[in-house]
Amino acid sequence: MRRYREPDVAVVGATGAVGRTMIQILEERDFPVRSLRLMASARSAGAVVDTGWGSVTVESLDEADPAGLDIALFSAGASRSRSHVPRFAETGVVVIDNSSAFRMEDDVPLVVAQVNDAAIEQHCGVVANPNCTTMALMMAAGPLHRAFGIAAMVATSYQSTSGSGQEGIRVLRSEVDELGRDPDALVAGGWVDPGNDLYARPIGYNVLPLAGTLTDGGYTDEEWKLVNETRKILDAQAIGIEPTCVRVPTLVGHGIAVSMWFNTAVGLDEARGVLATAPGTQLWDDDKVPTPLDSAGIDDVLIGRVRETIGRPGGISLWVVGDNLRKGAALNAVQLAELLLP
């Protein structure tokens, strides 16, 4: 695999929530950028963004020539990735793509930094970032799988509105304001649906047991991502996974409540011993409760509520939560780019 000492880098989707966070994290981590280019839709082209490498004018992705680039961090959505990633990769650019477009392609490694780093060695020009929910879960499940071998899991996600982009944040804030004008109706009934084109039901003061779009078997695409991506990342197709993905009225931070069973029974002390040394995480004691607010703006994924299963003994239940804009997307992309450095 080729290494880049001072790469020429592009951030694609640079004006979106994840793209802006990518730029911020490149700066925070002193990534050795030789030159930085920013690209986005034609609507954002011409905007000037102040960065650690000077003021950069945003280019139109449709018109951008990738010649001369070494690494491109894509967060432009699946349809744009399908249209543009191949032409970038054909010129020799290594693309780290944050969308779902290529995650399940056999020749595209799906990599969580600090969990399955070695998989990036097999890239053929494109490396995929997992879904942000899967990403947080893998920070706890990956070390436990290496130690004990996961046989089955039941996972329920609690996904923030920023997982739907800037529009998700806007809808939540708007609905909280509008529905909050009549708190009695929220308690006794009679509330008026403010209406939105993003979610199936109101998200303000509410919980939606439907994150994503319904697909096969009554499961959503978010739920299938949790199944398929987990198996690919852990290289364990036999793991039985039962997912439910829920949208909750928070701005940042995806949480997952998960119960796992292993090839042999695992005790609490054994599991905590593994999790205490898991890279990129913080293991919180039982009297501390990690929440999405605690995860906001930090790199580490937080693990808490670790306990032995009781309904089906021999397993471990826990709660994990991480900033979906950072480790769930932008940070992991930058960490993967760092794996391409000498």
Q: Clarify whether residues 124 and 142 are in a common domain.
A: no
Average pLDDT over residues 13-29: 96
Does 84 map to a domain? yes
Q: Clarify whether residues 56 and 88 are in a common domain.
A: yes
Quote the tokens at residue 279.
């890279």
Does 179 map to a domain? no
The contacts of residue 273 (CB under 8 Å, 6+ apart) are none
Q: Give the C-alpha separation, 204 to 243, whole Å.
A: 24
pLDDT band at residue 307 under the 50/70/90 scheme: very high
Catalytic one among 84, 123, 145, 254? Answer: 254
Q: Clarify whether residues 212 and 319 are in a common domain.
A: yes
pLDDT tens-digit map of 154-196: 999 999 999 998 899 999 999 999 999 999 999 999 999 999 9
pLDDT band at residue 315 under the 50/70/90 scheme: very high
pTM of the predicted structure, to 2 decimals:
0.95
Give me the number of domains the chain comprises.
2
Average pLDDT over residues 117-143: 97
Q: Give the C-alpha separation, 342 to 338, whole Å.
A: 9
Q: Is residue 67 within 8 Å of 91, Cβ to Cβ?
A: yes
Quote the tokens at residue 47.
């905007």
Q: Please report which residue ranges of the chain form alpha helices under DSSP H.
A: 17-28, 78-90, 132-148, 166-179, 183-188, 221-234, 268-275, 292-295, 331-338
CA dihedral angle for residue 87, residue 91, residue 96, residue 100, rounded to 10 degrees: 20
Cα dihedral across residues 142, 143, 148, 154: positive or negative: negative
Average pLDDT over residues 200-208: 98
Which strands sit side by side in the sheet containing 150-159, from one edge to the other?
240-247, 150-159, 254-262, 316-322, 301-308, 281-283
Report the CATH number at residue 223.
3.30.360.10
Q: Clarify whether residues 218 and 314 are in a common domain.
A: yes
The residue type of 12 is: V
Average pLDDT over residues 74-101: 97
Q: Give the C-alpha separation, 327 to 284, whole Å.
A: 18
The Cβ of residue 279 has, within 10 Å, a number of other Cβ atoms equal to 11
What is the percent of the chain where pLDDT is above 90? 98
Q: Give the C-alpha separation, 169 to 176, whole Å.
A: 11
One DSSP character per residue, 69-132 reads: -SEEEE-S-HHHHHHHHHHHHHTTPEEEE-SSSSTT-TTS-B--TTTSGGGGGG-SSEEEPPPH
Per the structure, the complete domain to which residue 306 belongs is given by: 134-160+207-324
pLDDT band at residue 325 under the 50/70/90 scheme: very high
Is residue 145 part of the annotated active site? The answer reads no
Q: Clarify whether residues 282 and 306 are in a common domain.
A: yes
Q: Is residue 258 within 8 Å of 141, Cβ to Cβ?
A: yes
Q: Clarify whether residues 153 and 92 are in a common domain.
A: no
Q: Does the pLDDT value for residue 287 go beyond 90? A: no
Q: Clarify whether residues 109 and 243 are in a common domain.
A: no
Average pLDDT over residues 302-315: 98
Q: Clarify whether residues 240 and 319 are in a common domain.
A: yes
Q: Does the pLDDT value for residue 286 go beyond 90? A: no
pLDDT band at residue 63 under the 50/70/90 scheme: very high
Q: Clarify whether residues 87 and 146 are in a common domain.
A: no
The contacts of residue 278 (CB under 8 Å, 6+ apart) are 139, 140, 142, 143, 303
The angle formed by the CA atoms of residues 268, 273 and 278, to the nearest 5 degrees, is 125
Is residue 124 part of the annotated active site? The answer reads no
Q: Clarify whether residues 224 and 320 are in a common domain.
A: yes
Catalytic one among 84, 123, 132, 245? Answer: 132
The residue type of 46 is: G
Does 12 map to a domain? yes
